[in-house]
Structure 1
Amino acid sequence: MSQEMERNKKEIYILAGIIKENVKGRKIILWGDSPMLRNVLKEKYNLEVAFVVTVLQNLVNGRNIRHLEDIRGKSKEFYLVSWGRAYDFYYGKIEKEYGY
């Protein structure tokens, strides 16, 4: 396994631990999917991801992929995990606007 893959795996485990500590009964939502994170959450903490959110309407299916707008103002119900380091500023701005 390459050093980068090993680092990514370690980061996933750290992130999963942070999610476990902070989810507090809310449904876990991913903004950007990660099968590896899903697996770690399930295997290590018995936590399920409820669905993925996106801003791309053409990807929305209403079940496991929903529009980001669906969770606006619902931070007491949903725990949002956002991905994509290149978009950190954008994600942070939107998350704040949506109450997360």
Structure 2
Amino acid sequence: MGTMKYVGLLDGSGDVWGVMIPDAPGVHGGGATPEEAIADATSALSEVAAMMAAEGSPIANPRPLPIVLADQSVIDHVAFCGATTVMIPLLSDA
């Protein structure tokens, strides 16, 4: 099975950037550059997924990009923040 990838919404400017993952509520990343924010979100997603798996409640599978982009909360976030989509891989130690 390939690496699962989640849609992330990247927004920011200057040295303040953030990524939120609509299919993983509460999972965010941040950094001084877009690359740092994406790396932080990737790490956060992996940590949350590992914690959930250890508790016997695996993380939900990601929705396809067109489905995420049709979600009204995502439409609103993109309109408000000018966010762009990025793909966040779910990395595991397995």
Common fold, TM-score beyond 0.5? Answer: no
TM-score by length of 1: 0.27
TM-score by length of 2: 0.29
Q: Could you say which structure has the greater relative contact order, defined with CA pairs below 8 angstroms and 6 or more residues apart?
A: 2
Larger-gyration structure (1/2): 1
Q: Larger % of helix: which?
A: 1
